[in-house]
């Protein structure tokens, strides 16, 4: 390898979990790569003894946000035409008119999406984004860094951020190969692609097919199926504390068995505290029958609201909150960054809890990695805080269509179901875990613990061709 310098570009904190807090960097060094994190997060990676180059100015062109938002609307319009499926309308967010600036952006976005909703119109918008970003100081500073450092490749940890566009364009304009990682299982149907790179790394063959369907300009040869590093910590036995130590650290009752309730953000589940209360009532019923159970409540890492307080206080005898170990570096929600310690905490929750209750998240895969079942809530609360919100919309999303025909989760169709489902998990061997494993194999390349190594093999393949 003549040039072994690889830039791991972190446009935001999302990539930390996959690429800084796993063995990804260690494996890269073992493969004789010079791994440098091009870091646009507030986190200081030198604390982990990583090489890093800080990005000091990541300001995009003022028009890019409008073009990017219009691009999303156009792609969703084209997806509806291509598939004859209205589900893509559910991925749109309401336009905001709360300030004059937001109103102007919303109106321009709507105008552009109306006048450019065709393959040719989309291409024009894509070109405009690149034109505007090439005018920015951010782009020219990226060129300067890349000319000085001369990396063999720039690998972007996340395809979504607008702040990823200029540096990747700069690399491409200098002839440096680029790649991006599709960071979540539900991203592609939502039209979240902000960047265009030379190569794409995806979780599975399913995601590869989605990528080629939604983005016809991408060729199959540009796509690498690797899996995601986010589940690797579940398969490292050295991460697991003994039950005694874990329970002592978190002030848990060693004589109890615990059910994990994994919270959602307020947008995904505005009535989440009511589901937590329903679960607490079910636990009380089971304890009255002779069980000795409790709930570990893990809130959504970016939810700092007080909306659970009343329930947590009322059911303090059965609910123990264990907060995610994320680090708020500023008051903004998008600067709340994951930590390596939270990866370990999540692995131990999967190891030491009996099951997880949730509303439609990928926690099903975290827990099935420990051979534990997941139950999804599938009913609306009678007193909804938001009358326009409907839980059933969640399960209509495209990524749930990847679930095997046989149930890979247990379905909670009403509050009265919860106790029976928990009892079923505690007393019988359920096929749901085996079905969840098959679902996991569908959405993520197996074996899951080798994702980082497969990514490095892909990087090696790319730079060997240059």
Concatenate the DSSP letters of all residues of 86-151 into one string.
GGGGGGPPPP--SSHHHHHHHHHHHHHHHH--SHHHHHHHHHHHHHHHTTSHHHHHHHHHHHHH--
Q: Which pTM does this prediction carry?
A: 0.95
**Predicted local confidence at residue 1, as pLDDT:** 53
- Mapped onto helix, strand or coil, the DSSP state of residue 293 is strand
Domain stop point among 88, 111, 132? 132
CA 109/CA 111 separation, integer angstroms: 5
175 and 223 share one domain? yes
Q: How many domains are there within the chain? A: 3
Torsion of CA 113, 116, 122, 127, to 10 degrees: -100
39 and 151 share one domain? yes
328 and 252 share one domain? yes
For residue 461, which of 151, 235, 153 has the smallest C-alpha distance?
Answer: 153
Rounded (10°) angle between helices 205-214 and 431-443: 50
Q: DSSP character for 268? A: T
Task: Give tens-digit pLDDT for 406-416.
Answer: 789 999 999 99
| Residue appearing with tokens 């265009």 | 196
For residue 448, which of 347, 310, 336, 377 has the smallest C-alpha distance?
Answer: 347
Strands (E), 16-62: 34-39, 51-54
27 and 171 share one domain? yes
CA 21/CA 343 separation, integer angstroms: 8
Six-digit token string for 355: 């099951």
156 and 216 share one domain? yes
299 near 263, Cβ under 8 Å? yes
212 and 348 share one domain? no
- Strands in 5-10's sheet, in edge-to-edge order, are 51-54, 34-39, 5-10, 153-156, 178-181, 199-202, 223-225
CA 379/CA 368 separation, integer angstroms: 23
**Predicted local confidence at residue 333, as pLDDT:** 47
Task: Give tens-digit pLDDT for 224-250.
Answer: 999 999 999 999 989 999 999 999 999
Domain stop point among 103, 132, 161? 132
Q: What are phi and psi of 7, to 5 degrees?
A: -85, 120
Per the structure, the complete domain to which residue 340 belongs is given by: 236-443
Torsion of CA 220, 361, 231, 437, to 10 degrees: -80
**Predicted local confidence at residue 336, as pLDDT:** 73
Alpha helix positions (H), 358-430:
363-368, 391-394, 417-427
CATH number at residue 175: 3.40.50.2000
411 and 321 share one domain? yes
CA 220/CA 209 separation, integer angstroms: 9
**Predicted local confidence at residue 268, as pLDDT:** 86
Question: What is the pLDDT tens value at each position of the chain, 466 positions in all?
Answer: 589 999 999 999 889 999 999 999 999 999 999 999 999 998 899 999 999 999 998 999 999 999 999 999 999 999 999 999 999 999 999 999 999 999 999 999 999 999 999 999 999 999 999 999 999 999 999 999 999 999 999 999 999 999 999 999 999 999 999 999 999 999 999 999 999 999 999 999 999 999 999 999 999 999 999 999 999 999 998 999 999 999 999 999 999 999 999 999 888 899 999 999 999 999 999 999 999 999 999 999 888 889 999 999 999 999 999 999 988 765 554 567 888 899 999 999 999 999 999 999 999 999 999 999 999 999 999 988 888 889 998 999 999 999 987 789 999 999 999 999 999 999 987 789 999 999 999 999 999 999 999 999 999 999 998 6
For residue 202, which of 23, 447, 454 has the smallest C-alpha distance?
Answer: 454
- Strands in 257-262's sheet, in edge-to-edge order, are 319-321, 293-298, 257-262, 355-358, 373-377, 410-412
274 and 378 share one domain? yes
**Predicted local confidence at residue 461, as pLDDT:** 97
21 and 140 share one domain? yes
170 and 78 share one domain? no
**Predicted local confidence at residue 388, as pLDDT:** 83
Six-digit token string for 28: 């890269």
Pairing of strands 223-225, 153-156: unpaired
For residue 175, give every residue at least 6 positions away whose Cβ sits within 8 Å of its Cβ, in sequence order, or none: none
**Predicted local confidence at residue 303, as pLDDT:** 86
50 and 190 share one domain? yes
For residue 17, give every residue at least 6 positions away whose Cβ sits within 8 Å of its Cβ, in sequence order, or none: 230, 338, 343
């Amino acid at each position: 390898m003549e040039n072994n310098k690889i830039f791991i570009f972190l446009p935001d904190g999302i990539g930390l979990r996959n690429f800084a807090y796993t063995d990804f960097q260690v494996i890269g060094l073992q493969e004789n790569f010079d791994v440098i994190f091009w870091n646009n997060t507030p986190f200081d990676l030198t604390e982990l003894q990583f090489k890093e180059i800080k990005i000091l100015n990541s300001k995009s062109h003022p028009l890019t946000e409008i073009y990017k938002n219009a691009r999303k609307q156009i792609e969703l319009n084209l997806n509806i035409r291509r598939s004859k499926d209205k589900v893509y309308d559910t991925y749109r967010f309401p336009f905001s008119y709360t300030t004059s600036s937001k109103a102007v952006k919303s109106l321009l976005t709507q105008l552009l999406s109306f006048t450019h909703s065709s393959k040719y119109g989309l291409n024009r918008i894509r070109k405009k984004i690149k034109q505007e970003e090439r005018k920015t100081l951010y782009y020219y500073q990226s060129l300067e860094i890349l000319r000085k450092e001369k990396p063999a490749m720039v690998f972007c940890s996340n395809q979504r951020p607008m702040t990823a566009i200029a540096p990747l364009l700069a690399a491409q304009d200098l002839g440096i190969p680029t790649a991006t990682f599709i960071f979540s299982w539900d991203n592609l149907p939502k039209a979240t692609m902000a960047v265009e790179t030379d190569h794409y790394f995806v979780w599975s063959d399913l995601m590869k097919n989605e990528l080629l369907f939604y983005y016809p300009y991408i060729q199959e040869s540009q796509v690498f199926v690797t899996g995601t590093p986010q589940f690797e910590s579940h398969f490292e036995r050295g991460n697991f504390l003994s039950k005694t130590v874990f329970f002592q650290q978190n002030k848990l009752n060693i004589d109890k068995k615990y059910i994990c309730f994994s919270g959602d953000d307020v947008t995904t589940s505005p009535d989440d505290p009511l589901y937590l209360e329903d679960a607490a009532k079910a636990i009380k019923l089971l304890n009255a029958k002779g069980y000795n159970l409790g709930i570990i409540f893990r809130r959504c890492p970016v939810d700092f609201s007080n909306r659970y307080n009343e329930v947590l206080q009322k059911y303090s005898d059965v609910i123990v909150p264990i907060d995610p170990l994320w680090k708020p570096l500023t008051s903004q929600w998008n600067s709340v960054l994951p930590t390596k310690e939270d990866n370990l905490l999540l692995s131990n929750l999967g190891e030491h809890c009996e099951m997880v209750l949730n509303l439609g998240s990928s926690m099903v895969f975290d827990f099935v990695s420990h051979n534990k079942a997941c139950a999804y809530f599938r009913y609306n609360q009678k007193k909804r805080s938001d009358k326009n919100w409907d839980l059933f919309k969640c399960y209509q999303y495209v990524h749930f269509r990847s679930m095997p025909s046989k149930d890979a989760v247990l379905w909670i169709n009403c509050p009265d179901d919860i106790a029976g489902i928990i009892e079923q998990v505690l007393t019988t061997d359920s096929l749901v875990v085996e079905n969840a494993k098959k679902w996991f194999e569908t959405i993520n390349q197996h074996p899951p613990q080798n994702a980082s190594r497969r990514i490095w093999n892909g990087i090696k393949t790319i730079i060997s061709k240059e």
